[in-house]
Structure 1
Amino acid sequence: MTPLRQHMREDMQLRGLAARTQESYLAAVRQLAIHYGRSPDQLTEAELRSYFLYLRNEQHLAPNTINVALHAVKFLFTYTLLRPWPFGDLIRPPIPKKLPVVLSPEEVWQLLGQVRLPHYRSCLSVIYTCGLRLQEGVQLQVSQIDSARMQLHIRGGKGNKDRMVPLPSRTLTALRGHWLTHRNPVWLFPSRSPIHDQGATATRPMEESNLQKAFHRAVQQVGLNKPASVHTLRHSYATHLLECGVNLRLIQLWLGHSSPTTTAIYTHCTRKAEVQATDALDVLTAGMA
């Protein structure tokens, strides 16, 4: 590791950036160095400008991907090199506001029923019934289960925030049954890779990529005509709660969203809410001539 890379990593640790953010930023800066064949601290303003034009016009990268590269290079210049950032918001691509993909409850269970291996099916079921992110589900530990209060304690979620989420009784029963298949003292979903310790002796959780592959195979097998991913289960969880009349503020807390605006997007995904709103408008306008 170069001294500059190590310095940037330490700066990110001091700033409290999440481990995944650190890795993403380091990877983005490494790509910049590879592109020009020299250290980023030797690049000119014109070269930086040209690089971001290259990402947009030649690589045709998604706005979110470009923004990660932008934030990474900006962090390097601002905090590690202590140099002023010359562009302001000039090269920030607009992020398109798209509605999330949502499955019906019937589609969710049909899909999970197609997942062949029980440890993948169990993990995906918990992700859906507790509204978890992929990493949160894969890295669940036995100590995070509070069976007395029927809750999961999610530690170090996005933004390094802890939260408590309700644990349905059927999910708890399924988790207990699944744990009996491996009895690992730490992980609920331990690694089953043949090159690592497995089951009760595993020292790491299952690989996220393997769970994603299992999910995508199930999507293909059921012939689902939606671009669904593991994260779709979390979107579906929020939408289904809203359709059942759960308060939006409560859903926000369970999802770990900082802003209610983020959670409010699910009001656009529920047909039931639209029908209720239309019925309310009919009542309001009943007295019109």
Structure 2
Amino acid sequence: MPEYYDKSMRALQLAGLSKSTQEAYTRFVTQLFNFYAKEPYLLSEGQVEDFFLHGIHERGWSKSTIRISHYGIRFYFQNVLKRNYPLFSYLKAGIERKLPCILSTEEVSRILQHVTTHHNYAFFHQVYSCGLRISEGANIQISDIDSDRMMLRPQRKRSQGSLCAST
């Protein structure tokens, strides 16, 4: 492995980052250095900026790819090369907001047909028909039922110490 790779991995390990984060950050550092075919210490801020612009405009990086590459390259330059380019303070990538996948009524029916136990069927039917999160359905308490208005009002957070938390 090249020297910059070893230095990057050592610094990331010392920072206590997870193995997958270490690999992702180092992958983008490697892409940057391969893009210019130069040693890391020879790259200017303008070249780093051009690399990001190339990724955004030519390669069509998603916002999450931009964010991970930014963090990885910034970490390397600031912690290994001891360079703090102004680019790192203004390079931003917003957060992608993706809508969840919504199942059709037919898809839900097909799924429920494969549930074999009555209590599991009741649970999944309740979660789907009430539009609950799995964790909300799993934590439903009798106190969540408003029988006068025929409503279910699940509580998002329960206190850790009791089985039945009142509202």
- TM-score, normalisation: structure 2: 0.64
Deviation of the 1:105 alpha carbon: 9.8
> How many Å separate the matches in 1 of 2:33 and 2:39?
5
Tell me the equivalent position of 1:19.
Answer: 19
Q: Contact conserved, 2:28 with 2:72, CA < 8 A, in 1?
A: yes
Deviation of the 1:60 alpha carbon: 1.1
Tell me the equivalent position of 1:242.
Answer: 136
Correspondence list, 1:1-289, <5 A: 1-103=1-103, 107=107, 110=110, 239-242=133-136, 246-249=154-157
Q: How many pairs align?
A: 131
Q: Contact conserved, 1:28 with 1:72, CA < 8 A, in 2?
A: yes
Higher relative contact order (CA 8 A, sep 6+): 1
Moved more, 103-112 or 81-90: 103-112
Q: Contact conserved, 1:25 with 1:69, CA < 8 A, in 2?
A: yes
> How many Å separate the matches in 2 of 1:18 and 1:113?
41
Name the Cα RMSD after superposition: 3.3
> How many Å separate the matches in 1 of 2:81 and 2:51?
19
Deviation of the 1:53 alpha carbon: 0.7
The one-letter code sitting in structure 2 at the alignment partner of 1:79 is N
Change (3 A) 1:97 1:81: same
Q: Which runs of 5+ in 1 are unaligned?
A: 115-168, 171-237, 254-289
Structure number with greater Rg is 2
Q: Which runs of 5+ in 2 are unaligned?
A: 121-131, 141-152, 161-167
> How many Å separate the matches in 1 of 2:135 and 2:3?
49
| SS of residue matched to 2:30 | helix
Change (3 A) 1:112 1:17: farther
> How many Å separate the matches in 1 of 2:60 and 2:32?
16
| SS of residue matched to 1:70 | helix
Deviation of the 1:22 alpha carbon: 0.5
Q: Contact conserved, 2:74 with 2:88, CA < 8 A, in 1?
A: no
Q: Contact conserved, 1:64 with 1:95, CA < 8 A, in 2?
A: yes
